[in-house]
Structure 1
Amino acid sequence: MKILFWSVGGKHDSNMAKAIEDFTQRVSHYYPCEWKLVAPPKNAASMSIADQKDAESDLLLRSLDPVDYVVLLDERGKMLSSPELAAIIEQRAINGAKKIHFVIGGAFGVNDAVRKRADLVWQLSRLVFPHQLVRLILAEQVYRACSIIRGEKYHHV
């Protein structure tokens, strides 16, 4: 199984890049893992919020295969504990999923088509975080989930 982290936006912030890469490499010890950064439309500044969300969402949807398992990070999603996230990842691996996509939308989120396509909509917190910090939290939490699956001591109950 392969884990893919997708985020609409530019490259990782230089202050966060090292930490994001560190946790991504840690995840790679369990599953092949990579980031895909989806550039927002070039004319995004002149678009309405709805049009920008639609354009970004179309880019995401065109890149997904129908059999891919998609986890959308969204403030209206379900909150999960780290062990619950681990159980979801483990179940996908047991069921033979080829890919899990963790998707972070753009600054204004995604449209309803992406939300409907998602197999799980996950809310990290009731707090709002900067986009770059969400990338780091996502990579760390997936690493934590992998260590839980393997019964390693990174996660303490």
Structure 2
Amino acid sequence: MQIKLIAVGKTDDSSLKELISTYSKRLSHYCNFSFEIIPDLKKTKNMDESTQKGKEGELILKHVNTSDILMLLDEKGKSFTSEEFSEEIQKKLNTGMKQLIFVIGGPYGFSPEVYQRANQKIALSKMTFSHQMVRLFFTEQLYRAFTILKNEPYHHR
């Protein structure tokens, strides 16, 4: 199964980029993982929140096929422990679907169309993190999930 992480907006912090790259490489031992960036919208100063979410939503949905499982990283989503998240990943792998897509939205979240298309919403925490940090935390948790499924020692360090 292909697992893809889509994020709106680039990461400027080179330290974060390096850490995300480290976990992305580690993930390649377990799955076909890719990380795609949807560029920030231009000229958003005169754009209201709803319009911006709508335009970002259109760009997100262009990356999603009808057969894909779409999971949104959303503060109102379901929370998991690391073990529960690994079980959720295993359930998705067992479906035989070709592609599992996780999405980190823009600064205002997701459009109604993206919510409607989503199969599930996941919360990383009840706390609020920057969208840049969420990329790192999620990539690390996905790697951790695979090490749990393979009964490898990473989770217990």
Q: TM-score range by the shorter chain?
A: over 0.9
1:73 CA drift (Å)? 0.4
Contact 2:11 2:132 in 1 (8 A): no
Matches within 5 A, 1:63-74: 63-74=63-74
Contact 2:7 2:105 in 1 (8 A): yes
Deviation per CA, 1:60-100: give whole Å up to 9, x if none.
11221011011100111111111111112112222212111
Deviation per CA, 1:36-81: give whole Å up to 9, x if none.
0001322222211110001001111122101101110011111111
Structure 1 unmatched ranges of 5 or more = none
Contact 1:11 1:37 in 2 (8 A): no
Q: How far, CA to CA, are the matches of 1:120 and 1:77 in structure 2? A: 8
Deviation per CA, 1:92-112: give whole Å up to 9, x if none.
222212111110000111112
Identity %: 36
Contact 1:8 1:39 in 2 (8 A): yes
Deviation per CA, 1:9-31: give whole Å up to 9, x if none.
02452120110000111111100
CA 1:12–1:136 in 2, change beyond 3 Å: closer, same or farther?
Answer: farther
Matches within 5 A, 1:82-93: 82-93=82-93
Q: Which residue matches 1:95?
A: 95
Residue type of the alignment partner of 1:70: L
TM, length-normalised to structure 1: 0.95
Q: How far, CA to CA, are the matches of 2:93 and 2:126 in structure 1? A: 29
Q: How far, CA to CA, are the matches of 1:80 and 1:112 in structure 2? A: 24
4+ aligned runs moved over 6 Å, structure 1: none
Structure 2 unmatched ranges of 5 or more = none
Residue type of the alignment partner of 2:16: M
TM, length-normalised to structure 2: 0.95
Residue type of the alignment partner of 2:40: P
Q: How far, CA to CA, are the matches of 2:128 and 2:9 in structure 1? A: 17
Residue type of the alignment partner of 2:100: I
Q: How far, CA to CA, are the matches of 2:20 and 2:117 in structure 1? A: 26
Q: Which residue matches 1:141?
A: 141
Q: Which residue matches 2:152?
A: 152
Q: How far, CA to CA, are the matches of 1:12 and 1:101 in structure 2? A: 23
Residue type of the alignment partner of 2:124: L
Q: Which residue matches 2:53?
A: 53
Q: Considering only aligned residues, what root-mean-square deviation do their CA atoms show, in Å?
A: 1.4
